[in-house]
Amino acid sequence: MTVTAVGAVNALPALAPISTSDTTGPSTSGADFGAMVAQGLQQLQQVQQTADDLAVQAATGRLTDVHDYMIAATEANLATSLTVAVRNKALESFNEIMRMQA
């Protein structure tokens, strides 16, 4: 019995390391964080679009390997769950900061 390769799962690009060497000046990581959030949302949208496209192909009978759709749908589900968890943690952090006394 031989094993054939299936469609590759797209890996997330590596994130740049955070530099902590300069702690005396004002922080400029706010723009970097915003860019990372925007990039993450774009990747989420691409993953969901891929799953949607494969779902249409499966429904119309044009998809030869249904497992490709299942993998894409699971990947989209996990990416959405991760995004919601990060959003919830960010909101919790914001609310905690707002409760702090000055």
**pLDDT tens string 20-46:** 555 555 555 566 888 988 999 999 999
The pLDDT tens digits of the residues spanning 64-75 come to: 999 999 999 999
Q: What single-letter amino acid sits at 32?
A: D
Look at residue 101 in the predicted model and tell me its pLDDT: 73
Q: Which of 11-15, 66-70, 96-100 has the lowest mean pLDDT?
A: 11-15
Q: Are 73 and 55 in contact (CB under 8 A)?
A: yes
Share of the chain above pLDDT 70, in %: 69
Q: Are 69 and 63 in contact (CB under 8 A)?
A: yes
Q: Which two tokens stand for residue 59?
A: 């429904």
Alpha helices, DSSP H, located in the chain:
29-60, 66-99
Q: What is the mean pLDDT of residues 80-99?
A: 94
